Structure 1
Amino acid sequence: MDRNQVKVAITGTGFIARGLTAAIEASPDLAVHKILTRRKIEDVSGVVKEYLTHSIHAFLEGADIVVECSGDVHHGTEVILEALSKSLPVITMNSELQVTTGSYLSQCGYLTEAEGDQPGSLAALAENARAMGFSPLVYGNIKGFLNENPTLEEMQYWSQKNGLSLEMVTSFTDGTKVQIEQALVANGLGADIAVRGLKGSPS
């Protein structure tokens, strides 16, 4: 590891964390420090085992920045509180955390949302539009699929296939996740909602 590289500590071992790990490994300026997981280390695939730890101390010790992408509000809040108590900057990809405990956490240190996730990308687009002299009227978040009434069997299949919890994959499918993301966008950018429940595909 180059001493000049920024050492990134990542929470979670889901597809977002794995993708982020791969991107960091390909960067000359960044290095994966540790990945905090609650799973059995031998059961985790797709990342270098030496990165993995169950210890919050080992996870934070020597890190330059923390990226919270566990998708878990309680766990994420605990990790961020520890990181901020050590004056480490934190980037999240966790909208659920931002709309629940984010307001409190933002008073404890440097906390921001990643541009790569939908709320962060919408914030960046809004900033670009305003810089060109435009006033955004709609902050749209479009998903490639929506099934408001998925079956248990369908969700169990996708949960197992993607290595995600049943609750998480269901929230991605039934629109819960997109509404949480849009609540974060509305709170962060001072927007209102078009209709209660948000607009979606016609039933």
Structure 2
Amino acid sequence: MCFELTDFQITLNNEALFEPFSLHIKAGQIGAITGPSGSGKSTILSDILGVLPAIFSRSGNIRLNEKDITGLPTGQRHVGIFFQDDLLFPHLNVFENLVFGIPAKLSKKEKAQKISSALSHAGLQGFEKRDIATLSGGQRARISLLRTLLSEPKLILLDEPFSKLDEELRDQFRSWVFKQIQLQDIPAVLVTHDARDIPESAVKIELEVSYA
């Protein structure tokens, strides 16, 4: 698997947010995009996901596994996203939250097996019936990432995923997230303003702001 942005640039009212850049990352690798507030980091993720607001324009190509996905609707891109907020459904238990992300083609038994395996792998064995309100911040974060991974994305986007965690939990969760990406063997694009969140092996892009 691989992911590419080629001569990529986003404009607003005919003004470029940043200088054009290209990015190429392989399976299990992380592409880290940094830059000042307002430089377009999260807007880039929106475009990769296929939900770029109409007020913006993009030039350049988006390719996933050597296929141009630039014009595809979101549902056909096979791209997952993990935000800084966990966005779990409070009225559903852990199992119900996780099953929401699993492809519908699987049987109930297959879904239950996948969830059990994922929870065990995340150190949350037996959490299927737990109420979301009873989970710690770190547990909620792990459940949220598992839901994204269970959807079997071919690319995962990480939008400031560690910014709301305390320092100790942040270090632990960051290491765990990067390990899951390697195990899933998929490329990932990380947006962050904190250099500590970027692994040494990452392909780094620092946005050069175009506007004054």
Q: TM-score range by the shorter chain?
A: under 0.3
TM-score normalized by the length of structure 1: 0.24
Bigger RCO (CA 8 Å, 6+ sep): 2
Greater percentage in strand: 2
Greater percentage in helix: 1
TM-score normalized by the length of structure 2: 0.23
